[in-house]
Structure 1
Amino acid sequence: MTNSELHTVNLPFHDKGDRRVWIYVPEHNENEKLPVVYMTDGQNLFDDNATPCGSWEVVKAVENEIKNGLSGAVIVGIDNGNVYRDSELTPKCIGEIQLRELLNDIFTPQGEIFDDFLMNTVVPYVEENFPVRTDRRGRAICGSSSGGLMSFFSGVEHSGFFSFIGAFSPAFLCYTNDDWRKYLLNKMTDNMPYLYIYCGNGDELEQMIFESVEEMYDLLPETGYPYDMMNEVILFENEHNEKAWREIFPDFLHTFLSNL
């Protein structure tokens, strides 16, 4: 049996210098290959002092799955770029950005760069150096807010690569329904990932996101997304913060691991 470990590594993030990536590997049998969840906002996943609302406590969630007899999972967290976070986690190709007043003055959508970093730098490094499964079924992607938008985008863009998407409080409201419809109609395949969408409704931002999540949930089947591959969870009292995402992450993780 190999003990659990939390690693960090700095990998080259295009012309932006190096970016820290966290890799948590739970206790596992030697030569065992574990499912893997790639996640945004790596600094908020493990460090309880990272935000005023604490961390996601992903290690506890993984340990609880193991205690309950399911497989563990490797968690790969990619740090955000702080003031550049929204820019890095918002794709340009979907359409014209809406509600720019919610974004900072330096915002420029660059999500395609993050997606390239994930797929062509982070994933190859992880698969070469850690005991992760390299089949589609064993891979998931997850994030919140702009990170939820980015996880949805990468999951749809690479539907043959990821089997599960966790889109928590996703910033779908950055684009119009018409732009989403055009984008999605060009992305549907016969093998779309299972989509786990979560949202709260407990503060002003989450209320705005809730409306766009409801619209997206109606739009997805219209564009061909299989209805039986979608799950929407709404916790109306929850606000837009790590406390809420910490609360829902164990259910997403359990759903993913239960379907392996």
Structure 2
Amino acid sequence: MIGRLLTIFFLLPLVTGAQLKVLINVSAPKQINDSLFIAGNFNDWNPRGKALVLNQKINNSYSIQLSLPKGFYEFKITRGSWSKVESQANGKSIENRTFNLNVDTTMDVSIANWADHFTQVDEKYHYGDHVHIVDTAFFMPQLDKHRQIWIYLPKNYSKSKKKYPVIYMQDGQNLFHANPPRANEWAVDSLLDSLIREGSKEMIIVGIDHAGKDRLKEYNPYDSQYGKGDGKAYVQFLVETLKPYIDSKYRTLRDVKNTSIAGSSMGGLISMYAIAKYPKVFGSAGVFSPAFWLAPKIYDDIKDRLAGLKNSKIFFVAGDKEGSAMVRDMKKVHSIVNPDGINKNIMLLEIEDGKHTEWFWHREFVPFYQFISK
């Protein structure tokens, strides 16, 4: 699965600043009946964005023109789903296509083949012996859905009687290190094992799998062009159903100071909403590359809830290669929760080489963990 990336700048009237044009010409390998779409870090990697269908010119030639702010962009071409994404000639996956937009640009793309033209072999992944699946179909009554839930327990958990802080994290299927390794994993269990060996505090991590095609709605507490937001119900599930269950089955420190929430992109958006909505449940939040662009109402919500956040610890991080609007929106939220810039419980990192991808969040998880461990 492609790493979850961000932001349809060209669809949003709230984006300010100069827009540049990029014309992408695409040649397909053979005559096909499906429409072609572009999916990338400008639309949260939605493989079938309605406004992102390519125009067919002649035969197997297509094109699309986008208007975007300056920035670094990644994308792939699909036929409407990730099972029909472009591939190498032998059916293997390709690296994300990229362009760094500084001036109006034309780009030519040649597609070698499509992934669904080959028999796909499902990888069987194995995880560390202290990463477990709590339930493959945990019921979410607030959403009337089922979801796989993961848990990381420190290696000494079974040998001790102590209780541990807990971090609740979104996009659970991408959190833990797998064998064989995957390109789109945070590998937070490997990081924690290393940090704990070096003397850091031990913590439990609970991962909640995302909603697949409904992720843009489930991690959004507000309605958007993608549909009715389910984020409020999702956070209610975390607070009213999942946390009580975890607290009853595992040795956890249940108080607010020992309960954190974290996520990236849409997961960063819902993590910020969760701590603002339930500051007496979540004492700290990791807001990685947040998709605030899709939820402008959150600014007012945070302003209305500032009093409740006075004791909260919030870690913001985004990269300069994620687009100027990403950093700008993150700084806007930071300025609301830390207007004087002197609150040591609020940290803001803008990283020069940061991209909207799991290797970046893997790396920046370390300062987040150290920050909330203090």
With structure 2 as the length reference, what TM-score do the two structures score? 0.60
Question: What whole-Å deviation, never above 9, does each CA across 1:145-198 have from its counterpart, x for those lacking one?
Answer: 01001001111111112221100001112244xx44432232123543101000
Q: Please state if 1:26 is matched with 2:154.
A: yes
Residue identity in the other structure for 1:123 = K
Find the partner of 1:238 among 348, 351, 354: 354
Q: 1:228 and 1:35, CA in 2 relative to 1: closer, same or farther beyond 3 A? A: same
1:255 and 2:371 aligned? yes
Check the 8 A contact 2:219/2:231 in 1, yes or no: yes
More deviation in 182-191 or 50-59?
50-59
Give the AA of the match of 2:343: Y
**Match of residue 7 from structure 1:** 133
In structure 2, which of residues 180, 186, 211 is the aligned counterpart of residue 56 of structure 1?
186
Alignment pair present for 1:148 and 2:268: yes
Larger Rg: 2
Distance 1:51 1:199, change over 3 A: farther
1:239–1:228 CA distance, 2 compared to 1 (3 A): same
Q: CA deviation at 1:113?
A: 1.2
Amino acid at match of 2:314: L
For structure 1, the residue ranges without an aligned partner over 5 or more in a row are 101-105
Indicate the RMSD between aligned Cα atoms, in angstroms. 2.4
2: distance between equivalents of 1:148 and 1:162? 14
Cα distance in 1 between the residues matched to 2:332 and 2:243: 32
1:161 lines up with 2:288 in the alignment? no
Tell me the equivalent position of 1:46.
Answer: 176
| Alpha-carbon separation, structure 2, partners of 1:215 and 1:188 | 14
| Amino acid in the other structure paired with 1:59 | D
Compare the two structures and name the one with the higher strand fraction.
2
Give the aligned partner of residue 201 of structure 1: 320
User: Hey, what does 1:213 align to over in structure 2?
Assistant: 330
- Alignment partner, residue 114 of structure 1: 234
**Distance in 2, Cα, partners of 1:13 & 1:50:** 30
Q: Which residue of 2 aligns with 1:184?
A: 302
Contact 1:43 1:80 in 2 (8 A): yes
Q: Structure 2 CA distance, aligned partners of 1:218 and 1:157?
A: 18
Counterparts in 2 of 1:107 and 1:53: CA distance versus 1, 3 Å = farther
Confirm or deny: 8 A CA contact 1:169 1:198 kept in the other structure.
yes
Contact 1:53 / 1:241 at 8 angstroms: preserved in 2?
A: no
Is the Cα–Cα contact under 8 Å of residues 192 and 226 in structure 1 kept in the other structure?
A: no
Q: What is the alpha-carbon distance in structure 2 between the residues aligned to residue 146 and residue 121 of structure 1?
A: 21
Q: Tell me what 1:103 maps to.
A: none
Pick from 121, 132, 149 the counterpart of residue 252 of structure 2.
132
Cα distance between partner residues in 2 of 1:51 and 1:6: 17
From 285, 289, 294, the equivalent of 1:174 is 294
Preserved contact between residue 196 and residue 230 of structure 1 (Cα < 8 Å): yes
Q: Flag the 1:26–1:38 CA change in 2: closer, same or farther, 3 A.
A: same
Unaligned runs of 5+ in 2: 1-128
8 A Cα contact 1:43 1:50, kept in partner:
no
Identity %: 24
Greater share of helix: 1
Q: Distance in 2 between matches of 1:174 and 1:30?
A: 44
Residues 61, 253 of structure 1: 8 Å contact kept: no
> Structure 1 length normalisation: TM-score?
0.84
- CA contact under 8 A between 1:24 and 1:76: conserved in structure 2? yes
Residue by residue, what CA displacement relative to the aligned partner does 1:40-70 show, whole Å, maximum 9, x if unpaired?
Answer: 0000101548997330001011111211112
* TM-superposed deviation, 1:225: 9.6
Which secondary structure state, in structure 2, belongs to the residue aligned with residue 141 of structure 1?
A: strand
Q: Which amino acid aligns with 1:166?
A: G
| Contact 2:177-2:188 within 8 A present in 1 as well | no
SS in structure 2 opposite 1:237?
Answer: coil
Give the count of matched residue pairs: 241
Determine the C-alpha separation between the residues in 2 that align with 1:180 and 1:115: 14
Give yes or no for contact 1:156–1:192 (8 Å, CA) kept in 2: no
Specify whether residues 46 and 181 from structure 1 end up closer, same or farther in structure 2 by C-alpha distance, changes over 3 A only.
closer
Output the CA distance in 2 between the equivalents of 1:50 and 1:134.
35
C-alpha separation in 2, matches of 1:50 and 1:175: 36
> In 2, are the aligned partners of 1:141 and 1:166 still within 8 Å (CA)?
yes
- Higher alpha-carbon deviation: 6-15 or 148-157: 6-15
